[in-house]
Amino acid sequence: MGAFGGLIQTNKGRNLQAKAEAGALLKFTRMGIGDGQLGGQSIPTLNKLISEKKSLPITRLKPQLPAQAIVGAVLSNQDVTTGFYFRELGIFAQDPDEGEILYAYGNSGSGAEYIPPAGTADIIEKTIDMIVTFGQAQNVSAVINSSLIFATPDDVAEALTESKKYTDIKVLAAETPSGEATGTVVNGNTAYTATLSPALTTLKAFQRVVIKVNVASTGSPTLNVNGLGAKSVLKASGSAASFKENGVYTLVYDGTAFILQGEGGEVGTATAPDVLAGKTFPGEDGLITGTMPQRGNQFKSGLWTNPDGDAYVDTYVNIDSGYYPPGSQVTIQVHDPDLLSGNIRAGADVFGVPGKSTVVDTADAVLDPQYLLVGQSGYDDGVKKNGQMPNRSGENHHMPGTGTVVWPGDRFLIQPPKGYFNGESWVTAAVPGLTANNLRAGVNVAGLVGTLQEGVKYATGSDGRTLHPGQGFQVDIGFIPRIFLVTAQTTDLTLRDYRISFYVPDMGSTWGGSTQGGRVQIEPYGSFSQIMTIKSSSSFSNTMSDFVWHAWA
């Protein structure tokens, strides 16, 4: 214990002493110890310890000289949770007017002694006896009626009881039974039995035992020592204790159950991944270092889904496990290869991507490919369709019609084939009888002016081709002639004049006469036909050309 060099009476202590000298009861209540630094403070003015750490009950009161008494207490560290330096000591007494006061005080200064907490290798047990002089030892002495300083029988009995209780605890602690405990699982709970040495014959409160278990505990373990009955083994928190295989444990019996020593209660359920890397926390096996990584700003590729098909897209990303300090940001990039302007309708904007001007909704349009030109294409309800309409102007500049209709006195109708016409093509219909000599002279039909004279039918025509002997050609007169006259020119050097042949069907002639012996032959295509054949005689060796014909009905 530190060197205190005696105690000094406080002002309130002197006042109480004066009251005691006047006949009041001087009753000491307790001792107090602490680690306060006195500094420049005056002891007589103190009313309490500067930094009290522990209160000690009075265990001994023994009068000495008429003005002195021994006041004793016991200092133990078994209930000390935090170590401290034993630097200051005070004795408290009961003032009949003010209650408990600080009677006397002492401070060891730099000579303080360290008091370690319970559970360490050092077990502190000190008896503190202070000789109290009733007055300041330096200059005051007094004789006090000794009958006033003796404790009553109840005070002495209480002191003896506390002293015995403390002594019993220390005796139990001094002889700690120990041994191996064998565990057996019963209904999910491990029941341990142990034969300890020195042997216990009874279990008392505060009995300390040390055991080594052979198996890890399960459920709520119990311990039966020396056949004294199974007792629950608990943590300080009251929950079931937990043992590891081959672990050595100190237990204290509290009168009902064994309490596991050296634990501060529950250790929680956290594991290393739950605690930030580099930080530690208590576990069943001691301090555990966390492994949770510290994260920060991150860039992640995410996924998206739209199960409802509405305007809300559910985006999600797998975030790396770990701790994200406040202010951390995780940037999520969701990729969709179809999120392109060309896939978005004109006028729409999807996540900042504008629609393409050529992408339109075709639901209100109708496109039949038979009305679309071959080689062209279009879209109908998003489906591409190729044109089926033929390009008639590309096929033939003069396209024959598929049918004709005459509206007498009105018009001649030609039905064009189905297809595309560019406005420069012609639709035609064969009309072989539409000739000028079939039209009355002066009549204009679609630009064709007739030459037919009324009364006697007459027709004429010419052909500039050259015929070799035996060759011929046909002409359609348009009516059956009664007289048909042909003139032609020959290349005979001796016969350069025109040769004339004629044909009279009514006379039954088949060959017409000629001034040159019928070198131009005329014959009908058939009996009484309007088609006449003009030939060069095969018996004539020269060619014939420049044919002109005339016909009369």
Q: Identify the segments of the chain with pLDDT beneath 50.
A: 136-155, 493-499, 507-518
Domain boundaries, the chain: 8-170, 176-260, 303-360, 395-428, 458-552
The rounded Cα 303 to chain-centroid distance in angstroms is 6
Instruction: Scan for tokens 């700690």, then name that residue.
Output: 176
Give pLDDT, residue 504: 58
Contacts of residue 14, Cβ cutoff 8 Å, sequence gap at least 6: 44, 135, 136
CA separation for the pair 257, 225 (Å, rounded): 12
Give pLDDT, residue 250: 94
- Tokens representing 368 are 């039949």
Give pLDDT, residue 442: 81
Q: Is 198 exposed, middle or buried (0-12, 13-18, 19+ CB in 10 A)?
A: exposed
- Where helices occur in 369-411 by DSSP H, the ranges are 392-395
Closest to 514 measured CA to CA, from 523, 503, 505, 501? 501
Q: How many CA atoms lie within 13 A of 259 on its CB side?
A: 16
CA separation for the pair 226, 211 (Å, rounded): 12
DSSP-assigned beta bridge partners for residue 547: 463
Asked if 519 contacts 544 with a C-beta cutoff of 8 angstroms, the reply is yes
Give pLDDT, residue 436: 81
Q: How far is CA 407 from CA 412, 413, 510, in A?
A: 6, 8, 41
Instruction: Scan for tokens 């008494």, then name that residue.
Output: 69
CA separation for the pair 30, 27 (Å, rounded): 10
Q: How far is CA 333 from CA 306, 318, 336, 542, in A?
A: 16, 12, 10, 100
Q: How far is CA 444 from CA 18, 406, 431, 440, in A?
A: 166, 16, 16, 9
CA separation for the pair 84, 117 (Å, rounded): 8
pLDDT digits (tens, 9 = 90+) for 402-437: 888 888 878 888 888 888 888 788 888 888 878 887
Give pLDDT, residue 513: 40
Helix (H, G, I), strand (E, B) or coil at 161: helix
CA separation for the pair 322, 297 (Å, rounded): 12
Instruction: Scan for tokens 């004279």, then name that residue.
Output: 453
CATH assignment of 458-552?
Answer: 2.60.40
Radius of gyration of the chain (CA): 70
- Other Cβ atoms less than 10 A from the Cβ of 242: the count is 20
CA separation for the pair 142, 348 (Å, rounded): 108
Q: How many CA atoms lie within 13 A of 485 on its CB side?
A: 11
Helix (H, G, I), strand (E, B) or coil at 392: helix
Give pLDDT, residue 426: 87
Q: Looking at 134-220, which runs of residues are DSSP E strands?
A: 178-186, 189-194, 207-213
Give pLDDT, residue 154: 46
Does the pTM of the predicted model rise above 0.75?
no
Asked if 15 contacts 45 with a C-beta cutoff of 8 angstroms, the reply is no
Give pLDDT, residue 132: 78
